[in-house]
Every structure is written in C-alpha cells, then in structure tokens.
A and B are shown apart, each in its own frame.
Chain A
C-alpha cells in the first residue's frame, strides 16, 4: 500500500532517529515515574510507556509546521514532536523554565515551537481544537496538517462525532489518531465501546485505518502516506492504533489486578514491546549493532539524569506570576 513513501524512511538515519525518539520517551517516563515515587513531583502523571511507536511513528511523518493536540497521557507526544528534556522536566516540577512556566504541568504541557498545541486534561477535550487548527490551515491556504491524538476512552465523547462530521464536510487536513490501549481509565475498552471504532469514522465517509501500534515502521509508513494525502486536500483520515499502556491509568494506579491481569501485562511487555521489536529489526538488518544501540541508550539516560538534576535545582516561578497570563496583552 505505501511502498513508495516508505522508501524515504528506509535509511539508517531515520531508523536511528525513530529508535532514539522511542527510547527518549521511555527514559523520560522512567524518570518521571521515579520522581513521583520519590515524592519529588507535585501531583501525579500518566505514563506513556508502551505506546512509544504510536507517537514516534506519527510525529516522524510531520514537520515543525504541522500541529498536534495531545492528551493527559501526553509526554510521549511532546517528546516525539521535538521537545527538550530540560524544559519538560522543569514543567513537570512546576519550575519557571518549564514549557508553560510551571503553570500547566504534566497534563497541560504544550510546545508551540514544535507545533504541539498542548496536552489536555479533559478526555476528548482537544478534538475541536485539532479540527479548528485544520480549518485555519485550509482557510489560510497553508499545507500543514494537524494530528489529533486521543485514546479509546475518548471515543465515548460526543464532541468527536460533531467535529468528524464537520471535518468530513469541509475536507479538512486533520488526522484523528485513536490510541487504543485497551483501557478506558480502569475499565476494559470492550465494556465502554460498542461495535467497531473505525466504523465510527467510516460513518462520516472518513477513510479509516487500523494499524499495529507496536510497530513503528507500520505506523510511520501509514502516517507518511496519510499526511501527504492530507496536504493535498484529501483529508480527513482516522487511524486506530492498537497499543498498550504498561503502567496504570496514572502513576498511583498500582494495584490494578481487578481490571487487568499481570499475565496480560507481561505478555505485552515481553512479546510486543515496540522498542525491543524495532531494535531487533535494526540489528538484523545491519542498521546498527547492539553495542552502538547500547551506547545510544546510555547517552539518553545521561541526558535524562542531567535534565532531572537541572530541573530539581531550577527556580520556581516568582510568586508575582500567579496572576500573570490570565489575559493576553
């Protein structure tokens, strides 16, 4: 289906970049989780670990001019769209040098410079924003594309159906990316979603695709094709990505056997991990050696440790900022 466009990514540099970005997400999350467990992070956060191939496969098909909207489980999207560790950790810790000067935190992290319009703590809350960004692109004759990330749980929100209807009527350059990680908070998706998820988009005449969200190449190949078509005015599109979240709904959701088994978690981690799979593929294809990838991992871990240390020492915003930015000048 997408042989021609996939060629662009079949080179060492782009494979290494996708691998690097996935490891950067996993490493970021491991550090964020540790900050929570050590009671060094205010509030709580939602781990993206396990879903890395989704964010990276899609965002590697985008440019900085393309936009995304993210979710409460948004660190992965933020890293994949190009964000910097230091400003991200600073934001998670409520520090002045955070992307949002500490005012947003984990659930509202945004990085406008790379086209990330922000995470959103209302499930499904950004579907209108993504669609509006696409309408703006069309009205202004710009060829950028907007990707709306949301989870399977958000398919239960009516807003999705309102905006997909308008996106289809107006041929907007938006891609609805449904990350189906199997759980709507603490409930199995099959208990909250009747029928087929892709059929929801197809009902509006939107081309819908289902892809293995643990296979970064499959995700990237499909994304490149759809982004290119959306730029030409053939949008909108819908992708359902089958994936899995390794942690609970949030970092404090530790005892979760009442809704999913440890065996199931073990199976996904052991047999379908997106990083392990892609790493094996790269080694077998001779793109990188185990030693080279180990060195790459170690470098990322060092970056993360340095960024965490930096953020822990960084300044909090001055208290005079509390009523700053309520209104734009």
Chain B
C-alpha cells in the first residue's frame, strides 16, 4: 500500500469531500495561497478557488461564528484554527453556540461543521502554541471530538467529520504532519466511537490518544523485550467514546494506563480511568493509572519541555511497576 504523510491525508480527505459535496467550504487564517503554516492545505485553493477556500482576517471568534451560522443554514463549513491554543478565543462560539443549537432548538436546527486544529508539545513553541486542549471541549455536550493518531486515521476521521451533522472538533498532532503511514487509494471512512486495537497483549492495557499512541506502541516494544505483553488501544474519538472495547480489554488484562497529552488533572485520562474503575473494578489487579502532561504551562527550554509529556520510557516504567504489583503514586 502507498504511504502518505498525515498532512497529505488531511488534504486528500478535504479535497475528496469538497468534490463530493458543493456545500463544503473551508475558512481560516492563511488557508488559501499559504496553505496554512504547516502547508496542510497546499493546492486546495487552486482546485476550489477562493470562494471555497477562504482566507480570513485574524479574527478567530468572528470566523468561527460565521461558520456556525453558515452551518445552521445549509453549508458544511470546515474551520481551520491555526493552533489549538486559540480555542480559548472561540469558546463562546464553539461551546455556547455551536454545541447547544441543536438541543436548544428541540432538534430543529443543526450545526454540521468541522473545526480542525492541533495539539502537541515538544516543538519548542512555548506555553501558548503547545497545549493539548481537547479535554476542554470534550467536557461540552453537543460536540464530537476526534483525535487521529496517524495519516490513516486522519483521513478517515476527517471524511466522517465532514459528513457528520454535528459540530466536530479534530485535533491533529502538529508534530506528526510529516509522518507517513499506509493509506489506501480507494475511499474509506472511519466511524466515530470505534476504538482500534493497535497491538494485542494479555498483561496490561495501554489506552492512548493521538500523539501518545506512538508512545504507547514504543513502550509496548520495550515491555515485550522484558516479557510483558501490553495491549495498545487507540479510542480514535474521545466523544463518542468506545467504552465497550476499552472495558473488554481491561477486564482481560486487569491493568491499565491511560495516556494522553492533555494536562493530567481533570483531563481525558481522569475521565477514562474513572469509567474503568466504575465499570471494571472487580476485574482490576491494580489501580488504573493516568499519564498526562504535567500540570505546568509548557516551558520553552527543551530540557524542561521534554519533562512535561509522557515518553515510551516513563510509560514502560509505570507499566512494569503495575505488573509487579507495586503501588504508584501519581504525580
């Protein structure tokens, strides 16, 4: 199978859906000729023109609100939010408007829009361009949250998001745009709420999202060399969450670590760990462990920044302790 980058996968998904559905358009900062700072959208304006690939001023709440209104009245806009950190700027439009419109109208109005943005530290971009803020929006009923972990997922989830009749937020890992993965030539979609078992194992379940899937897979390799068989599961969407697959795995392995790049406190890891504790408690041989980003603003200095996120080594070390029956006190 051919291999393409995550960036190309996103580009292909958007182009295919724009060809298929004339109501799809995209807007955001520097999306047309510039193709975004990460060059993810390069070439789209040449095919679809500036009417459908729309450069906006640096007005995140404004163009997000415009997308909400366009979606409510018959378009399928894709909002390009240059950095996930800018989500703080658009909270009212996303969480008070887009997320609630369907419910508040008793199901009469809907907001079929996609907000594509990114997450991920270790790019030496400091505290306002490195955050992983998906937990903030996952907290709001009415939004769906997709977290692709490779080019394959990025394409399939984006196509599903564009066809979904709800506001969907897709977080791409900005460090993975150049990472290649096998992606079929023929069309495919990845349904929301279906987790992917990336690696099977009997001793411990590593549940990881987005950038952390690779970290978990590397940790599993380290552990395998020591005779510990780790199962790695990528939920792919955190809203909706494929709880059944996670529970089934944890009941088999009796141990779990949840790994995610958002801040650990009050985060995705806490939510998933809590559900496992509530619904698989009597199958567990150890407490479910959370591993998220440290609860500090992301520092600039590389030696400090690298300490803030889980690594294959830290994940393997914790897994080793859980499997040995040692107590771990979360940081």
CB contacts (< 8 Å) of A251 on chain B: these are: none
Interface stretch, picked from A156-164, A229-237, A293-301, is A156-164
> Cβ of B97 and Cβ of A128 under 8 Å apart?
yes
Determine whether B314 belongs to the interface, using a CB cutoff of 8 Å to chain A: no
By the criterion CB–CB under 8 Å, are B74 and A132 in contact?
A: no
> Closest residue of chain A to B69, judged by CB?
A132
Chain A: which residue is nearest B56 at the CB level? A166
Interface flag for B141 (CB, 8 Å): yes
B69 and A117 contact, CB distance less than 8 A: yes
CB atoms of A139 and B25 under 8 A apart = yes
Q: Which residues of A contact B104 (CB under 8 A)?
A: 100, 103-104, 108, 110, 118
Contact B69 A112 (CB under 8 A): no
Q: How many residues of B contact A (CB 8 A)?
A: 43
Question: Which chain B positions have C-beta within 8 A of A69?
Answer: 69
Q: Is residue B294 contacting chain A, with contact meaning CB distance below 8 A?
A: no
Cβ of B128 under 8 Å from chain A:
no
Known: A117-B73, A129-B97, A140-B23. A163 touches B66 (CB 8 A): yes
Contact in complex: B67, A326 (CB < 8 Å): no
Tell me whether B64 and A128 are in contact (CB under 8 A).
Answer: yes
In the assembled complex, A136 has its CB within 8 A of some CB on chain B: yes
Interface residues of B in 76-120 (CB under 8 A from A): 77, 92-93, 96-97, 101-110, 112
- Contacting residues, chain B, for A57 (C-beta < 8 A): none
Given the interface contacts A162-B61, A165-B59, A166-B56, does A131 sit within 8 Å of B69 by beta carbon? yes
Contact (A166, B57) CB under 8 Å given A100-B108, A128-B62? yes
Whether the Cβ atoms of B59 and A118 lie closer than 8 Å is no
Task: Report B53 CB to chain A, min CB distance, Å.
Answer: 12
Verify if A133 is at the interface (C-beta below 8 Å from B): yes
The answer, yes or no, to whether A325 is at the interface (CB within 8 Å) is yes
Please, which residues of chain B bring their CB within 8 A of the CB of A110? 104-105, 108-109
Cross-chain contact A324 with B107 (CB below 8 angstroms) = yes
Contacts of B77 in A (CB 8 A): 132
> Which chain A residues lie closer than 8 Å to B56 at the CB level?
166
A128 contacts B65, C-beta separation under 8 Å: yes
Quick one: which of A120-150 are within 8 Å of B by CB?
A: 120, 122, 125-137, 139-140, 146
Q: Measured between alpha carbons, how far is A99 from B70 in the docked complex, in Å?
A: 21
Which of A98, A162, A327 has the most chain B CB within a 10 Å cutoff?
Answer: A327
Q: Which residues of B contact A101 (CB under 8 A)?
A: 106-107
Given known A-B contacts A67-B73, A108-B104, A140-B75, A129 and B110 have beta carbons under 8 A apart: no
A1 contacts B by Cβ under 8 Å: no
- Which residue on chain B has the smallest CB distance to residue A101? B106
Please determine whether A103 and B103 come into contact, CB atoms closer than 8 angstroms.
yes
Given known pairs A136-B75, A165-B59, the reply for A130 and B69 (CB within 8 Å) is yes
Residues of A close to B166: CB separation below 8 A:
327-328
The answer to whether the Cβ of A102 comes within 8 Å of any Cβ in the partner chain is yes
* List of B residues within 8 angstroms of A128 by Cβ: 61-69, 93, 97
B62/A159 in contact, CB under 8 A: yes
Instruction: Give chain B residues whose Cβ lies under 8 Å from the Cβ of A103.
Output: 103-106
Contact B63 A133 (CB under 8 A): no
**How far is A328 from B52 in the complex, measured between Cα atoms in Å?**
25
Q: What residues of chain A lie closer than 8 Å to B57, measured between beta carbons?
A: 162, 165-166, 169
Q: Is B142 an interface residue (CB 8 A)?
A: yes
Cα(A166)–Cα(B65), bound, Å: 12
Total A residues in contact with B, Cβ cutoff 8 Å: 45
- Are B106 and A104 touching (Cβ within 8 A)? yes
| A173 CB, nearest partner CB in chain B, Å | 12
The answer to whether A136 touches B73, judged by C-beta atoms less than 8 angstroms apart, is yes
User: At the interface, yes or no: B247 with Cβ under 8 Å from chain A?
Assistant: no
Asked whether B21 is an interface residue with its Cβ less than 8 Å from the other chain, the reply is no
Residues of A within 8 A of B112 (CB): 328
List which B117-161 residues lie within 8 A (CB) of chain A.
Answer: 141-142, 144
Q: Does A319 contact B (CB under 8 A)?
A: no
Is B42 close to A, CB under 8 A? no
Q: A110-B104, A110-B108, A140-B75 are in contact. Are A326 and B68 (CB under 8 A)?
A: no
Are A118's CB and B109's CB within 8 A? yes
B69 adjacent to A162 (CB under 8 Å) = no
Give Cα A67 to B165, complex, Å: 21
* A139 adjacent to B52 (CB under 8 Å): yes
Say whether A329 faces chain B, with CB atoms less than 8 Å apart.
Answer: yes
Minimum C-beta distance from A179 to chain B (A): 20
B228 contacts A by Cβ under 8 Å: no
- Whether B72 sits at the interface, judged by CB under 8 Å, is yes
Q: A122-B92, A133-B73 are in contact. Are A112 and B109 (CB under 8 A)?
A: yes
Question: B-facing mask of A12-39, CB < 8 A → 1, else 0?
Answer: 0000000000000000000000000000
A103, A104, A108, A139 pick with most chain B CB within 10 angstroms: A139
User: B47 at the A/B interface (Cβ < 8 Å)?
Assistant: no
| Assembled-state Cα–Cα distance A102/B104 (Å) | 8
Binding site for B on A (CB under 8 A): 67, 69, 98-104, 108, 110, 112, 117-118, 120, 122, 125-137, 139-140, 146, 158-159, 162-163, 165-166, 169, 324-329
Q: List 16 A-B contacts (CB under 8 A).
A: A103-B103, A103-B105, A104-B105, A108-B104, A110-B104, A126-B97, A128-B64, A129-B72, A132-B71, A136-B73, A139-B52, A165-B57, A165-B59, A166-B59, A328-B165, A328-B166
Q: Please give me the 6 A-B residue pairs with the lowest Cβ-Cβ distance, nearest first.
A: A128-B65, A132-B69, A162-B62, A101-B106, A129-B69, A162-B59
Q: A132-B65, A139-B51, A325-B106 are in contact. List 8 more A-B contacts (CB 8 A).
A: A117-B69, A118-B104, A127-B65, A129-B65, A132-B77, A133-B73, A140-B75, A328-B110
